[in-house]
């Protein structure tokens, strides 16, 4: 099948129509100039892999088992790179996102069920970001948590403004927030003076990860929090923001190549951040017997010499809160975009963009606000929502991953760009492992195993 035979259906409508194909790509330019034009979508994807939902699990992993779970961070990051590259390629080649393709290949009832699952997954993802941002605002400015959560809901207005200014502005803002996260944790890791030898050894998988029950549970938590369903929908859509002629095989091939490089490069950065979180937990909290189950406890611990030693300071705590706010805000921007993609793709709603984004945001914020009002003053209870959100993400994951692997491996849809056999085998092995691990995590969480 030739590239210009790829299946498309313009009647369905373009994904994120207002920004689809709006960014020009230079013709016959050098590598770096072309790469610069394609660079951007990867950073929007990467923030989902370093969102507040990952923080507690990664830091707790280091605090309890030192550097041994770095191997898990590495393996889960490699799986994420493979799946996200697949999602980007799917969008570029077919001209449709994962939500649109899934809806096309299911019945009306099946499509509705999958839409509900996808929407709930985005709500579950947003819960972590909203809570993280709200707590960061509370820690930085002393604002009550409920007010902080309401403030985070207003970032949808920022997104509406940025979309008017162009998609490049969104990429730039998110890239700046990611840079803040990297710099803050890089600085804190340097201060913590971790063991270089321990870090290198930690990236080598150990059988203890499987045989040690507590280590296995944290392993499942790290893996479950790494591969995000909403990012697969998002990646398949925003990869189409570059102007590419799908009838031109050379342009199509170039777009797939540079989108893959961008995605892998930015996810490597997310891998570095998640590694730093675990290293920070190992260097500062291993053997201290301190409770690190909440963001507030982490914030307070970084200012406590009895826990982290001589490097403890209010500055360290405040930097942690700044990074938390940056993580939460960058993730909520991309989460809102993913919500619009899912709603348009599955339901094909023809409503104004601001209505879609407002509805998506309210769906995410409402349950957190209700919970915050019920448990006002009890941040521990509110943060427990994070656990439930990660469990639901585990349930929703196969409903995004399985269709992605099927579509990206289909010669009918992808033509010559379909997954090669070795990639297909690796993808299915990773998918089966992810599903089994997440099922085990769910059973552990509800107390069956």
Which of 121, 151, 124 has the alpha carbon at shortest distance from 341? 121
239 domain residue, yes or no: yes
Per-residue pLDDT, 449: 53
47-70 pLDDT, tens digit per residue, is 888 888 778 778 888 888 999 999
13 domain residue, yes or no: no
CB 396 within 8 A of CB 121: yes
Check whether 210 has a pLDDT greater than 90: no
Among 169-183, 211-225, 321-335, the range scoring the smallest mean pLDDT is 211-225
For residue 226, what are its two tokens?
């790494």
CB 23 within 8 A of CB 37: yes
- CA 434, CA 406: separation in Å to the nearest integer? 16
Average pLDDT over residues 138-159: 80
8 domain residue, yes or no: no
Which of 77, 331, 78, 83 has the alpha carbon at shortest distance from 222? 77
342 domain residue, yes or no: yes
The range of the structural domain enclosing residue 182 comes to: 21-445
In whole numbers, what is the pLDDT of the chain averaged over residues? 84
CB 426 within 8 A of CB 82: yes
Helix axes 314-347 and 167-192, enclosed angle (nearest 10): 140
- CA 332, CA 137: separation in Å to the nearest integer? 15
5 domain residue, yes or no: no
Q: How many CA atoms lie within 13 A of 332 on its CB side?
A: 32
Per-residue pLDDT, 4: 42
4 domain residue, yes or no: no
Check whether 10 has a pLDDT greater than 50: no
CB 340 within 8 A of CB 96: no
Task: Considering only residues 78 and 226, tell me which one the structure prediction assigns the higher pLDDT.
Answer: 78
Average pLDDT over residues 311-318: 86
11 domain residue, yes or no: no
381-394 pLDDT, tens digit per residue, is 666 666 667 667 77
For residue 67, what are its two tokens?
């550097």
Per-residue pLDDT, 17: 84
CATH code for the domain in which residue 96 is found: 1.20.1740.10
Per-residue pLDDT, 404: 96
222 domain residue, yes or no: yes
Q: What percent of the chain has pLDDT over 70?
A: 87
- CA 331, CA 266: separation in Å to the nearest integer? 14
What is the secondary structure of 72-91 as a DSSP string?
HHHHHHHHHHHHHHHHHHHH
Check whether 11 has a pLDDT greater than 60: no
For residue 7, what are its two tokens?
């299946």
Task: Considering only residues 174 and 154, tell me which one the structure prediction assigns the higher pLDDT.
Answer: 174
Task: Considering only residues 187 and 227, tell me which one the structure prediction assigns the higher pLDDT.
Answer: 187
Residue 362: which pLDDT band, with cuts at 50, 70 and 90? confident
Which of 174, 169, 129 has the alpha carbon at shortest distance from 152? 129
Per-residue pLDDT, 2: 42
Residue 291: which pLDDT band, with cuts at 50, 70 and 90? low
DSSP 206: -
- Total count of domains within the chain: 1
Check whether 367 has a pLDDT greater than 70: yes
Among 73-87, 124-138, 234-248, the range scoring the smallest mean pLDDT is 124-138
> What is the pTM for the complete model shown?
0.87
């Amino acid at each position: 099948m030739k590239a210009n035979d790829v299946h498309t259906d313009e009647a369905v409508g373009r994904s994120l129509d207002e920004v689809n194909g709006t960014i020009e790509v230079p013709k016959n330019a050098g590598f770096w100039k072309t790469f610069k034009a394609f660079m951007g979508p990867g950073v929007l994807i990467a923030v989902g892999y370093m969102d507040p939902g990952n923080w507690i699990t990664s830091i707790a992993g280091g605090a309890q088992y030192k550097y041994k779970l770095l191997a898990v961070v590495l393996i889960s990051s490699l799986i994420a790179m493979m799946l996200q590259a697949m999602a980007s390629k799917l969008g570029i080649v077919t001209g449709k996102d994962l939500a649109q393709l899934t809806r096309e290949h299911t019945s009306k009832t099946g499509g509705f069920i999958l839409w509900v699952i996808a929407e709930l997954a985005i709500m579950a993802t947003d819960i972590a970001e909203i809570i993280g941002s709200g707590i960061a605002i509370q820690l930085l400015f002393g604002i009550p948590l409920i007010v902080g959560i309401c403030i985070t809901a207003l970032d949808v207005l920022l997104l509406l403004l940025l979309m008017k200014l162009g998609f490049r502005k969104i990429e730039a803002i998110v890239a700046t927030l990611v840079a803040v996260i990297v710099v803050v944790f890089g600085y804190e890791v340097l201060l913590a003076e971790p063991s270089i030898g321990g870090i290198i050894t930690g990236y080598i998988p150990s059988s203890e990860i499987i045989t040690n029950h507590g280590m296995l549970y944290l392993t499942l938590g790290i893996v479950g929090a790494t591969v995000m369903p909403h990012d697969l929908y998002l990646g398949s859509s925003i990869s189409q923001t570059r102007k590419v002629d799908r009838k031109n095989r050379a342009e199509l091939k170039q777009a797939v190549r540079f989108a893959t490089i961008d995605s892998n490069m930015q996810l490597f950065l997310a891998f570095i951040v998640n590694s730093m979180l675990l290293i920070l937990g190992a260097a500062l909290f291993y053997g201290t017997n301190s409770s690190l189950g909440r963001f507030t406890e982490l914030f307070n611990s970084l200012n406590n010499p009895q826990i982290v030693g001589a490097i403890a300071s209010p500055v360290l705590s405040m930097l942690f809160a700044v990074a938390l706010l940056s993580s939460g805000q960058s993730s909520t921007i991309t989460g809102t975009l993913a919500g619009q993609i899912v709603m348009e793709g599955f339901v094909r709603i023809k409503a104004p963009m601001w209505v879609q984004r407002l509805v998506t945001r309210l769906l995410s914020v409402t349950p957190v606000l209700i919970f915050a009002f019920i448990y006002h003053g009890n941040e521990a209870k509110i943060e427990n929502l994070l656990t439930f959100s990660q469990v639901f993400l585990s349930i929703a994951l196969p409903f995004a991953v399985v269709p992605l692997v099927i579509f990206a491996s289909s010669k009918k849809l992808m033509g010559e760009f379909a997954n090669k056999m070795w990639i297909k085998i690796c993808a299915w092995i990773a998918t089966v492992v992810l599903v089994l691990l997440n099922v085990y995590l769910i059973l552990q969480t509800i107390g069956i195993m």
